[in-house]
Structure 1
């Protein structure tokens, strides 16, 4: 399966001759969902350590709900991104079943597992050093956005997203019978929007 990270074109070309299977995709998404849930819990725990004792109980409940939400959202986003790619590929008269798209798109989330671990390290360290109880929302936002660790995590996240995009490109080429050009446009449109939004949030450009 590591071949998909280094040679996605060859990997999906071979997989396209096999029957659709969801065992491996579900394992990939489940691992990412578990990592995301743990990350959400760890980050919330970091915040809890700076809160007054009376607020800690509510934060604990929030940590549990946050972990559950992160787990569920991972599966939802898998389906949503697969659907977006599928719909855009229709412009290029793509041919292929949505189940195949769903299967192949899952492999593009493998880099996200490592990215989630790295992001958790940076954000938990950042959040644990902030006094959440005393800062007003505006000052808190400025503190977060001015911290270089958040921007580093954001840039690393973009790099991993581009890695995923390269995998998704060939996933769409072979699941929807597209040319490389059409596959690049299919994947590139939503990914470009996501990257621009991320850069804006990090204030790397724009105010």
Structure 2
């Protein structure tokens, strides 16, 4: 979905709208994501767990009367931490925590702030996972890293957030399709990573309403 309009920055109000669009789009794909779930445990609940996580995060910002994007993203991260379910939901909450740290002092988010926040998100998630175990590639972590790298690379020549979000979705899509090559259990089952698919669904939801 390529859009032609320009968005140079967003405030907390717009971030709230984007996040709610992401939650809605994820909710429409829960069953598909659940059916991909074979790692780390094939219990068919990745989509459900990720949806519960982001719905809790959404509940923390729905009626928040503050358009400061740093404070709103902090509330998102706090809600996600309280609502985190399952492996992918927990990692998603880590990504939101790191993202919020990258935006902590920002009233609005422009392209540079987005790149910094995405980089913080991935670094925080990897570091947190690494504190207890070796991060597994071919998962939501891999897709998140590819997405952040795409933003950091593109921001040198692109300041339109709409175009940057397109790049993020494209990078996440490519990375997701490559997950079976990084995680043999996925290849054996003939599926892509369920957590990565959930992250892509969120990004596509943002893209639909930006």
TM over 0.5: no
Q: Which has the higher helix share?
A: 1
Normalization by structure 2: what TM-score? 0.34
Find the structure with the greater CA-based Rg: 1
Normalization by structure 1: what TM-score? 0.35
